[in-house]
Amino acid sequence: MNAITLLDYAGVTVFAATGALAASRKQLDIIGYLFLASVTGIGGGTFRDLILGVPVFWVGNRVYVLICALVAVLVFFTAYRIESRYKLLLWLDAVGLAAFSVMGAAKGLAITGSPVVAIVTGVLTATFGGILRDLLAGEPSVLLKPEIYVSAALAGAAVFTLGALVGLPPYAADLAGFVA
Amino acid sequence: MNAITLLDYAGVTVFAATGALAASRKQLDIIGYLFLASVTGIGGGTFRDLILGVPVFWVGNRVYVLICALVAVLVFFTAYRIESRYKLLLWLDAVGLAAFSVMGAAKGLAITGSPVVAIVTGVLTATFGGILRDLLAGEPSVLLKPEIYVSAALAGAAVFTLGALVGLPPYAADLAGFVA
Amino acid sequence: MNAITLLDYAGVTVFAATGALAASRKQLDIIGYLFLASVTGIGGGTFRDLILGVPVFWVGNRVYVLICALVAVLVFFTAYRIESRYKLLLWLDAVGLAAFSVMGAAKGLAITGSPVVAIVTGVLTATFGGILRDLLAGEPSVLLKPEIYVSAALAGAAVFTLGALVGLPPYAADLAGFVA
C-alpha cells in the first residue's frame, strides 16, 4: 500500500500547486489560494468517493486538507519563482494525472470489481479537480485541450485496469499505469 | 417496469448524443466525445442518486456507460450528417428531457414518498446533464433559455407526480408525464 | 437548537433571494427564478451533506424547497423594488454567509469531530451555493472577489470551531461565529 499512498500524496500536492498557481494568475488573496488549491487537490477524489458510495477520503484523514493548505501558503510566497518554471509545472501536472488515474481506477476496481467503472472513476479522479479549478477561476477548461489531459488520464486508468485484470501484482500494475 | 427502463435507455442515448454533438462543435478529439457524451448522458441521474442517498445507477450496471461510449463513437464518425439534421436533434432533446423528468420524479417519489422532492429530482435529473455539458464545453447554459428547457422538465415531473398521487397506475402516469 | 434552526432558515431565504435576483438580472422567466433560487439556497448544504455522508437536509424536510419557491415567486413580482435596494442585499448576503458558515461548521464538527473538516464544511456550505449561482447564470464567480466572500465564510467557520473547541456553550459559539 506504500506506493499507492505515496502516489496519492504526490497527486494531491501537485494538483494543489496547480490550483494555487491559477489563484496567482487571477491575483487572488491568500484565501483564494487556499480555496483553489483545496478544490483542485481533493476535488477529483471527493467526486470519486461520492459516486462509489464510500466515505470521502479527506473527511477521515486531515493530512490531505493540511497538504493543500501548506501548498497554498508556499505558492503564495513563491509564485513568482514557480511561474518562471512553467515547464516544470506541466511535467508535474502530468505526474499528478498519472498518479490520480491509477488511484481512482484502483479504488473503483477494489470497491465494485467492474473494469468499466474502474476506468470511469480513474478518469474522473484525475480530471475533475482540474475541471473545477478552471470553472471556478473562469479559465477555458482543460477539457478543451483533451489531447494532453483527458487522454493521459484514460490511458493511465485503462493500463492499470488491464494490468490488474490479467493478474499483475498490484505494484506492477501501478507502475504500468503510471508510466502510461 | 419495462416502459421505465426503455425511457431510461432512450434518455441516456439522446443526451449522450447531444454531448457528443457539443464535442463536435468544439472540434475535440475522440476522448472529448467520450467525456462529454458520458457527462451529459449520466450526469443528471448521478446527481439524483447522490441526493437520494442510493447507489449511483451506472456503477451497478455497465450498460449505461457502454451506451454513452457507443453513442460517442457513432457521432464521432457521423457528426457531419447529424448536424445537418439539427431539427431532429432538438426533437430528440425534448424526448430526453421528457424521459428523464419522469424517471427522476418516479425514483424520487419511490424513495422518499414526498411529491416536493419528486418534482425537484425530476427537474434535476432532466436538466443537470445538459447544464454540465454546457459548463464544460464553455457554451452559454441551456438554463438561460429556460422556456424550452427547464420548463419542459418541470412540467413532465409535475404531471407525473400528480398522476401518481391521484392514483393513476404507473404506466398511465408515465405516459401523462411524458406527453406533457 | 432554536438559534441554529433560525440561522438555517434565514440563510436559505437570503441565498434564495440572491439567486432569484441573478435570474432577474438575466431576465429569465419564472422557472429560471425557481431554479436559481433553489440552487443558491440549498446548493451549499447539499454539498456539505454529501461530503459528510449524511442524508441531504432538504430531502427529509420540504420546508427548505418551499422557502426557495416562495422567495423566487416574491422576488419575481417585486424584483424592481429590491434591485433598487442593492445595499440591503449585500448586507443580507453577508448575513447568509455568516449563518451558513456557522451551520456548516457545526454540522461538520458534530459528525466528524474534526476541526479541520469543520472549517472546510463551513466554508463549503457558505460559498458553494453562490458559486453554483454564478456558474449557472454565466456571471464572474464571487470567488474572484474573495476578500468579501470566502474570507467571511472562513472567518465565521474558524471562529465557531475555535469557540466550540475551547468549550464555549454552543449558543455562544454560534454567536461568536456569526458576529465574525
State how far residue B104 is from chain C, nearest Cα, in angstroms: 14
pLDDT of residue B174 exceeding 80, the answer is: no
State how far residue A56 is from chain C, nearest Cα, in angstroms: 6
**Segment A9-41, tens digit of pLDDT:** 888 998 898 888 888 888 888 888 888 899 999
- Chains in contact with C via at least 3 Cβ–Cβ pairs below 8 Å: A, B
Supply the mean pLDDT for chain C: 77
pLDDT of residue B4 exceeding 80, the answer is: no
Of B4, B100, B139, B121, nearest to B54 (Cα)? B121
Alpha carbons B79 and B89: distance in angstroms, whole number: 12
pLDDT of residue B173 exceeding 60, the answer is: no
Select the residue of A53, A117, A146 nearest B35 (Cβ to Cβ).
A146
Mean pLDDT, to the nearest integer, of A143-148? Answer: 57
**Segment B90-135, tens digit of pLDDT:** 666 777 887 888 888 888 888 888 888 888 888 888 888 888 888 8
Mean pLDDT, to the nearest integer, of A102-130? Answer: 85
For residue A90, the model assigns a pLDDT of 67
| Angle value at C-alpha C22, between A37 and A127, nearest 5 degrees | 30
Mean pLDDT, to the nearest integer, of C74-99? Answer: 73
Contact status of C56 with chain A (Cβ, < 8 Å): no
**Length of chain B (residues):** 180
Higher local confidence (pLDDT), C92 or A100: A100
**Segment C103-140, tens digit of pLDDT:** 888 888 888 888 888 888 888 888 888 888 888 887 77
Mean pLDDT, to the nearest integer, of C72-97? Answer: 74
C135: nearest CA partner in chain B: B135
Work out the number of other CB atoms within 10 angstroms of the CB of residue C167: 8
Of A170, A171, A149, A151, nearest to A93 (Cα)? A149
Query: Residue C152: what are its φ and ψ, rounded to 5°?
Result: -60, -40
For residue C70, the model assigns a pLDDT of 94
pLDDT of residue C88 exceeding 70, the answer is: no
- Chains in contact with A via at least 3 Cβ–Cβ pairs below 8 Å: B, C
CB contact under 8 A, A31 and C141: no
Band of residue B70 on the pLDDT scale cut at 50, 70, 90: very high
C151: nearest CA partner in chain A: A31
* Best residue in A144, A147, A149 for a mutation probing chain B (most B CBs within 10 Å): A144
State how far residue C56 is from chain B, nearest Cα, in angstroms: 6
Alpha carbons C73 and A130: distance in angstroms, whole number: 37
**Segment A50-71, tens digit of pLDDT:** 988 888 888 888 899 999 999 9
Band of residue A142 on the pLDDT scale cut at 50, 70, 90: low
Contact status of B63 with chain A (Cβ, < 8 Å): no
Work out the number of other CB atoms within 10 angstroms of the CB of residue A62: 15
Band of residue A116 on the pLDDT scale cut at 50, 70, 90: confident
In contact, C61 and C46? CB cutoff 8 Å: no
Higher local confidence (pLDDT), C175 or A52: A52
State how far residue A175 is from chain C, nearest Cα, in angstroms: 30
Residue tagged 432538438 (cell numbers): B90
Q: C141 contacts in A (CB within 8 Å)?
A: 136-138
Supply the mean pLDDT for chain B: 77
Residue tagged 455562544 (cell numbers): C172
Local structure of B13: helix, strand or coil:
helix
Mean pLDDT, to the nearest integer, of B154-178? Answer: 57
For residue B68, the model assigns a pLDDT of 94
Mean pLDDT, to the nearest integer, of C81-103? Answer: 71
CB contact under 8 A, C136 and B140: no
Mean pLDDT, to the nearest integer, of A100-124? Answer: 85
pLDDT of residue C69 exceeding 50, the answer is: yes
Higher local confidence (pLDDT), A75 or B5: A75
pLDDT of residue C71 exceeding 90, the answer is: yes
Interior/surface letters C65-104, b for 16+ CB within 10 angstroms, e for the rest: bebbbebbebbbeebeebeeeeeeeeebbebbbbbbbbbb
Mean pLDDT, to the nearest integer, of A148-157? Answer: 65
Select the residue of B32, B55, B56 nearest A143 (Cβ to Cβ).
B32
Provide the chain A residues 14-53 that lie in CB contact (below 8 A) with chain B: 50-53
Mean pLDDT, to the nearest integer, of C86-94? Answer: 67
CB contact under 8 A, A138 and C135: no
Cβ burial, residue A107 (10 Å; 0-12/13-18/19+): buried
ipTM computed for the complex: 0.77
Band of residue A166 on the pLDDT scale cut at 50, 70, 90: low
Work out the number of other CB atoms within 10 angstroms of the CB of residue A11: 26
In contact, B114 and B172? CB cutoff 8 Å: no
For residue A64, the model assigns a pLDDT of 92
State how far residue A70 is from chain C, nearest Cα, in angstroms: 13
Higher local confidence (pLDDT), B117 or B164: B117
For residue C173, the model assigns a pLDDT of 46
For residue B179, the model assigns a pLDDT of 47
- Chains in contact with B via at least 3 Cβ–Cβ pairs below 8 Å: A, C
State how far residue A162 is from chain C, nearest Cα, in angstroms: 30
For residue B42, the model assigns a pLDDT of 92
Band of residue B2 on the pLDDT scale cut at 50, 70, 90: low
Band of residue A179 on the pLDDT scale cut at 50, 70, 90: very low
For residue A38, the model assigns a pLDDT of 92
Percent of residues, chain C, with pLDDT higher than 70: 69
Q: B143 contacts in C (CB within 8 Å)?
A: 28, 32, 35-36, 136-137
CB contact under 8 A, A151 and B59: no
Contact status of C147 with chain A (Cβ, < 8 Å): yes
| Angle value at C-alpha B120, between B118 and B126, nearest 5 degrees | 100
Q: Domain locations in chain A?
A: 2-179
A105: amino acid identity, one letter: A
Alpha carbons A133 and A130: distance in angstroms, whole number: 5
Supply the mean pLDDT for chain A: 77
For residue B175, the model assigns a pLDDT of 47
Select the residue of A53, A144, A150 nearest B138 (Cβ to Cβ).
A144
CB contact under 8 A, B65 and A154: no
